[in-house]
Structure 1
Amino acid sequence: MSKIYQFQTENQIYDDASLWIARMDRGLSAEETEALRRWISASAKHKECLLEMAQLWDRMDKLSILSELFDSPSVAASTKRSLARPVWALAASALLAVVGLQLFMPQTPLTQPGTEQAPVLSQQTSQPSNTLYETGIGAHSTVNLPDGTRLLLNTNTQVSVTYSTDQRLLLLKKGELLVEVAHDKQRPLRVQVGDKIVEAVGTAFNVYLKDEQNFDVIVTEGRVKVKPIAQITQAITGPGTDSIQELGRGEKLSVRNTHAAAVEAIGATAIHDRLSWRDGNLVFRGETLQDALNELSRYTPDNFKVVDARINQVRIAGLYKAGDVEGLLLSLKENFNITSTRSADGVIELSMQQ
């Protein structure tokens, strides 16, 4: 079964609500129960979104815990009334949530009219279920998977997620992905990128796919293993482990033309700068202008062309909003006397004034 989620904007409240549904699905600890109480109490919108997400994921049975989290009897009664709503009412409210709130939930394939809502995935899923998530140019989004794993998708990213009884497989087709892995020793999470597999059990790491044969992996928590796809079966039985590379927190692995370089340690500042896209920013610390333009081009449909060789020597530093082309051009003009014009075919040409 295949579904497609297409994201255009990020709504953190709904992301958080979805994560709480996943947590309640596997059971809350005492600390998480108290944290949920605080989250709900922080805003009336939080409770409203939690109920809507439960309806969308058909998990209203998990919200009986809410009646214990509200001090007001009237609120608790309202929650219980919500739990008693008939199935047809839940379907109608789910449809309104998708249309009115622009939550891009699974769409029914044209070839399968009337198919069911995307299931909550678990180890008991009898058939692998495949879902495709993607972001447009300049967009980034957060996906909370039902097992508690969280995906942060950068600009122009496409990843398919397939859960089966023995693994959680993410196929990164293009773009950049930060994965915060929910711990599940019996079912490792694997990201297929090019002809390699990045494997983790419970950790956090970033994968940037530059093209089919080139990508970078940065580990922010725990450890991951990078191995050829062909080694997945062999690694279980023993031979061939010399081609497996292991990374820990604060380490980076670059793969170029399918060949992996040595693992390198990078500082916390470098990691923060590299992952600043999570906040919609780009941080440069002395990169060449051409490298900066290449990075900025990921976040905008605009194309750039350096027509003055002197510009190749310019290095820039600072924080820029991802996709803010005009802001960067203004900074170049004010700081480096670099002007820009648009050619007939719409390309932004950069030159340096005399």
Structure 2
Amino acid sequence: MSNIYQFQTEEQMYEDASLWVARLDRGLSEEETAALRRWLDVNPGHRDCLLEMAELWDRMDSLSVLSELFDPPVAQQQRSRAVGRTVWAVAASILAVVFAVNLLLPMSPWSGANSEGPALSNLETSDTLYETGVGAHSTVNLPDGTRMLLNTNTQVSVTYSDQERLLVLNRGELHVEVAHDKQRPLRVRAGSNVVEAVGTAFNVYLKEDESVDVIVTEGRVRVKPLPHSDDVSELADQVRDLVRGQKLTVRDSQALAVEEVDSTLINDRLSWRDGNLVFRGETLREALNELSRYTPATFKVVDSRIRDVRIAGLYKAGDVDGLLLALKENFNIDHRRTGSGVIELSLRDTPESVKSEG
């Protein structure tokens, strides 16, 4: 059996939450109640979205019939929430029609049978594919207690057997908090490498050039290349053991030296888990390459004078407008959006810049 979970953007999550509030208001069938349970289990953020939309539309009483779905009960969650711009934008676009039209709509594909992860008893025959879109990130709680955090544009396949727990990272970036199981080690395969752990936490980033970055945040992992034959003796010198606070880059199937990384720098590097990007002196080109992972926008530096400008600060992942504003206010860098959607960056011409150029 194969299940596929494609995680949503924040806006899509609120749209589904709105539909569930509407269905709850007119009453759920047994099949819909089961589908709602699955939808809530897939992503911890779904529960918060549902509560926010119920409060927004003053439909908290509709949730009371399903109070057993929530821990603690919904009655204890009826508190004021600061609803962000995303909620209001979604509500404004669908509030007028959701009660009039969507009450009779069939369940969303997101709420269907494929939303439920495989039961532990079926793990030996189940392959499950999880993926996030550009700009989205999500958390997956696997049946054995392992927790996966998927970054933007990430796809990972999960297969459990009696011998191992195998995660195949097809693209993107993954942080894993591994549930201890000495009899079934957890392995992450990324490109031509395998990262093995028993009970630990680590980050794996498979880049577009097929190089792999591994950062250990807890415990110990072992990184080794995939054997291409039965003779693995020739690969022994490529095996690397990493402990907390260490990083390894594997490029062209060659493991580079293990690096010691300060905990602050690790937290900055993994700030995507909180939806942020932290720059500490990267060049403009490097910063734009990183930001491009979180947005479909395309950037082009058309002014050689700004290519090596150093960028520092905390930015919201995917917040293109926020970064452009910061570049304008702090670095005097202007932008222009072309008809093809490319954002061109150049130094704003001022008396000082003209003088220095001359």
* TM-score, normalisation: structure 2: 0.69
Which residues of structure 2 form unaligned runs of 5+? 14-36, 43-59, 74-103, 350-358
Which residues of structure 1 form unaligned runs of 5+? 20-42, 53-65, 71-95, 108-116
Match of 2:138 among 141, 147, 152: 141
Q: Contact 1:2–1:132 at 8 Å: present in 2 too?
A: yes
Structure 1: how far apart are the matches of 2:228 and 2:253?
Answer: 14
Structure 1: how far apart are the matches of 2:113 and 2:245?
Answer: 35
Q: Contact 2:123–2:159 at 8 Å: present in 1 too?
A: no
CA RMSD, aligned part only?
3.6
C-alpha displacement of 1:247: 0.4
- Are 2:336 and 1:341 equivalent residues in the alignment? yes
Q: Which residue of 1 aligns with 2:240?
A: 245
The number of equivalent residue pairs is: 280
- Are 2:305 and 1:287 equivalent residues in the alignment? no
Question: Residue 106 of structure 1: SS of its match in structure 2?
Answer: helix
Residues 218-275 of structure 1: CA deviation (Å, up to 9, x unaligned): 000000000111189877xx88533210100000001122211111110110011011
- Are 2:189 and 1:192 equivalent residues in the alignment? yes
C-alpha displacement of 1:164: 1.0
- Are 2:114 and 1:106 equivalent residues in the alignment? yes
Q: Contact 2:151–2:172 at 8 Å: present in 1 too?
A: yes
Q: Contact 2:140–2:148 at 8 Å: present in 1 too?
A: yes
Letter aligned with residue 241 of structure 2? E
Q: Which residue of 1 aligns with 2:178?
A: 181
Structure 2: how far apart are the matches of 1:161 and 1:140?
Answer: 17
Structure 1: how far apart are the matches of 2:162 and 2:206?
Answer: 27
Structure 1: how far apart are the matches of 2:149 and 2:117?
Answer: 20
Q: Which residue of 2 aligns with 1:298?
A: 293
Structure 1: how far apart are the matches of 2:335 and 2:124?
Answer: 55
Structure 1: how far apart are the matches of 2:109 and 2:261?
Answer: 40
- Are 2:270 and 1:275 equivalent residues in the alignment? yes
Letter aligned with residue 119 of structure 1? P
C-alpha displacement of 1:127: 3.6
Identity %: 63
C-alpha displacement of 1:101: 11
Structure 1: how far apart are the matches of 2:113 and 2:254?
Answer: 38
C-alpha displacement of 1:119: 3.1
| 1:164-243 aligned within 5 A | 164-211=161-208, 213-230=210-227, 240-243=235-238
- Are 2:125 and 1:128 equivalent residues in the alignment? yes
Letter aligned with residue 114 of structure 2? P
Judged with a 3 Å threshold, the aligned counterparts in structure 2 of structure 1 residues 46 and 271 are, in CA distance, closer, same or farther, namely farther
Q: Contact 1:219–1:250 at 8 Å: present in 2 too?
A: yes
Q: Which residue of 1 aligns with 2:150?
A: 153
Q: Contact 1:253–1:261 at 8 Å: present in 2 too?
A: yes
Question: Residue 211 of structure 1: SS of its match in structure 2?
Answer: coil
C-alpha displacement of 1:126: 7.4
- Are 2:259 and 1:264 equivalent residues in the alignment? yes
- Are 2:315 and 1:323 equivalent residues in the alignment? no
C-alpha displacement of 1:312: 1.3
Q: Contact 1:2–1:131 at 8 Å: present in 2 too?
A: yes
C-alpha displacement of 1:128: 3.2
Question: Residue 291 of structure 2: SS of its match in structure 1?
Answer: helix
C-alpha displacement of 1:345: 1.4
C-alpha displacement of 1:118: 5.1
Question: Residue 327 of structure 2: SS of its match in structure 1?
Answer: helix
